[in-house]
Amino acid sequence: MNFDYIVVGGGSGGCVLAARLSEDPSVSVALIEAGPVDKNILIHVPAGLALLAQTHTANWNFSTVPQKGLNGRVGWQPRGKVLGGSSSVNAMIYIRGHRADYDHWAAEGNKGWSYDDVLPYFRRAEHNERLGGEYHGNAGPLNVMDLRSPNKYLQAYIDAGREAGYPINDDFNGAEQEGIGPYQVTHRNGERFSAAKAYLTPNLGRKNLTVFTEAHTTRILFEGKRAAGVEFRRAGRLEQIAANHEVLLAAGALQTPQILMLSGVGPAAELARHGIGVLHDLPGVGRNLHDHVDAVQVVDAPHLKETFGVSLGGIGRVLKAIPEWRNRRSGMLTTNFAEAGGFVKSDPSEAIPDLQLHFVVGKLIDHGRKTVFGHGYSAHVCVLRPQSRGSVTLASADPFAAPLIDPNFFDHPDDMRRLVRGFRQMRALMNQPALAKLGGKELARSADATTDAQIEQFIRTYGDTIYHPVGTCRMGSGAMDVVGADLRVHGLEGIRVVDASMMPRIIGGNTNAPVIMVAEKASDMIKAARVAGAEASPQTVRAFADTDTPAVDPQAA
């Protein structure tokens, strides 16, 4: 089978690409996803993410190699394995990052990626139910809204933030990011609204769009240095499809570099170590991995029955909430758990916020994978722009073997220094009267950590990712960069990377909305190149973004 474009990965980036490129009925598009169709009810009930974490449903369920910065522990790396990718299993928070993040990309030589360049793509993607103006879109396919039925203790957290001296912010994606406030979420009508539901599902009837699910990509096929197709295994059989124009890798920061290396593209020594023939020696593939490392403070409050927890009363409330959600799409099952948070500075001298906070309406232990009895709440703090860098490498030449994931947490001492300061700030906020009067008690494992050295040891014992790996196919023009500003892989033809792999430096916030933006922008680059019959620079596609044309009617089913 031949297609004009083959998209590898049905996550946030892949769903956008498939929808946008197939808008032209004369263009044929194939989307390859290793996971199943997103039919599981746990995906669509927002609170179902708790059971998704415990059951590993729709999840690659990766682990890191032992982390010296985490006392030798193995960390967890959940990634979505289903249409919608991680947008089908994440906490649904809509955050873009800070203006300075994108200006930094551009300042490194990536023309066309400044904040002013990318804002039109954020706006084009977005259908915000409350916010508008110059920073928000109201006609895009991705629905963004306030929580329909926020937990009663969300306001106590915001009040505590005010008491701690932070500004209150009800729009972290507007003119100013700093402050404490409620998070907006990618929901619609009380349901999760993943990239699949926003972009892909409404367009599955297009005759020029073919979606392969439960199809595991094994390698990219090349003719010389040009990507000519994709090989994948489906139902026990190897299949190959050809690309007339381009192969678009959107498999995520952990698997896009893995697929490149399995295809002979990457560091020559790494490929040779596994007996893989070197098609193109590209040393930066799999390097520059970095992630938001996070620490969690848990508060025990058994009398707060409105928080999530395992008790007779808690189970009863959930059972009563099921018909409310089924009949009215409201109630406690519409929670995303991390209902509020904020962006703060670890020191007043910082120019922009360097820490992010999340407030969770339940006791979160081990990423929610551990059943916790009783009630309470939790607070997260993470370092937004860590300086530590790790890698993704191959465990073997077997395409079904998980990659070796090494975020190299806390390799740079600045990351720990910031997180210790952040933990102190988070604790101070949690001890403000608005929360203190609730009568909760911090669990001993963190409460006993009072000195900087003790807090550091607590973090090394319990800290881990907050699920934002990026950077393994870095955008730039240096020797260790993998793609250019047009997202084409250096030294190859007919192949681009369109996912979090391309981020030269992680953005200051949750990464799902930025990946959707990247794919929106990439789709215009690809369209412009097709129209021109040649490579288009990132600047030439600005006119496409300014149209604010939705891929689908945001109110369509």
Who has greater pLDDT, 543 or 442? 442
Check residue 420 and give its pLDDT. Answer: 98
Listed in sequence order, the residues at least 6 apart from 432 whose beta carbon sits closer than 8 Å to its beta carbon are 159, 160, 161, 163, 164
Q: Residue 326 in 3-state DSSP?
A: helix
How far apart CA 121 and CA 136 sit, in angstroms, is 10
% the chain with pLDDT above 70: 96
Domain presence at residue 416? yes
Check residue 532 and give its pLDDT. Answer: 83
Q: How is residue 503 written in tokens?
A: 């981020």
Length of the chain: 557
Check residue 39 and give its pLDDT. Answer: 97
Check residue 549 and give its pLDDT. Answer: 40
Q: Which of 78, 13, 76 is nearest to 49 (CA)?
A: 78
Q: Residue 9 in 3-state DSSP?
A: coil
Domain presence at residue 239? yes
The answer on pLDDT for 545 being more than 70 is no
Q: pLDDT-based confidence at 370, cuts 50/70/90?
A: confident
The answer on pLDDT for 5 being more than 90 is yes
Strand partners, 180: 168, 342
Q: How is residue 208 written in tokens?
A: 């020029």
The answer on pLDDT for 418 being more than 50 is yes
Q: Tell me the torsion sign for CA atoms 307, 312, 313, 316.
A: positive
Q: pLDDT-based confidence at 535, cuts 50/70/90?
A: very low
Check residue 541 and give its pLDDT. Answer: 40
- DSSP H/E element including 106: helix 99-107
Average pLDDT estimate for 528-541: 61
Check residue 546 and give its pLDDT. Answer: 45
How far apart CA 94 and CA 132 sit, in angstroms, is 15
Q: Which of 373-382, 509-518, 526-535 has the lowest mean pLDDT?
A: 526-535
Domain presence at residue 521? no
Say if residues 403 and 260 touch (Cβ distance below 8 Å): no
Check residue 533 and give its pLDDT. Answer: 76
Q: Which of 70-74, 294-298, 314-318 has the lowest mean pLDDT?
A: 314-318
- Which CATH number goes with the domain that contains 385? 3.50.50.60
The answer on pLDDT for 200 being more than 90 is yes
**Annotated catalytic sites, by residue?**
468
Q: Which of 193-202, 352-361, 544-553 has the lowest mean pLDDT?
A: 544-553
The answer on pLDDT for 553 being more than 60 is no
Domain presence at residue 542? no
Listed in sequence order, the residues at least 6 apart from 64 whose beta carbon sits closer than 8 Å to its beta carbon are 74, 75, 76, 77, 405, 406, 407
Domain presence at residue 436? yes
Domain presence at residue 552? no
Q: Which domain holds residue 275?
A: 2-94+143-500
Average pLDDT estimate for 290-312: 95
Say if residues 305 and 311 touch (Cβ distance below 8 Å): yes
| In the block, residue with structure tokens 């066309």 | 112
Q: Which of 373, 456, 366 is nearest to 415 (CA)?
A: 456
Domain presence at residue 328? yes
Check residue 468 and give its pLDDT. Answer: 98
Average pLDDT, the chain: 95
How far apart CA 475 and CA 376 sit, in angstroms, is 42
Q: Tell me the torsion sign for CA atoms 256, 262, 263, 267.
A: positive
The answer on pLDDT for 536 being more than 70 is no
Extract the runs of DSSP E, i.e. beta strands, from 325-417.
Answer: 338-344, 355-360, 376-383, 390-393, 404-406
Check residue 30 and give its pLDDT. Answer: 98
Check residue 554 and give its pLDDT. Answer: 33
Q: How is residue 119 written in tokens?
A: 């804002």
The Cβ of residue 169 has, within 10 Å, a number of other Cβ atoms equal to 20
Check residue 26 and give its pLDDT. Answer: 96
Check residue 547 and give its pLDDT. Answer: 42
**Total domain count for the chain?**
1
Per-residue pLDDT reduced to its tens digit, 106-123: 999 999 999 999 999 999
Per-residue pLDDT reduced to its tens digit, 22-45: 999 999 999 999 999 999 999 999
Query: How many helical (H) and strand (E) elements, i.e. helices and strands, does the chain have?
Result: 16, 25
- DSSP H/E element including 435: helix 433-436
Q: How far is CA 253 from the centre of its chain?
A: 10
Domain presence at residue 193? yes
Q: Angle formed by the axes of helices 413-430 and 154-163, to 10°?
A: 110
Per-residue pLDDT reduced to its tens digit, 78-103: 999 999 999 999 999 999 999 999 99
Listed in sequence order, the residues at least 6 apart from 397 whose beta carbon sits closer than 8 Å to its beta carbon are 262, 274, 275, 276
- Reported pTM: 0.95
Amino acid at 368: G
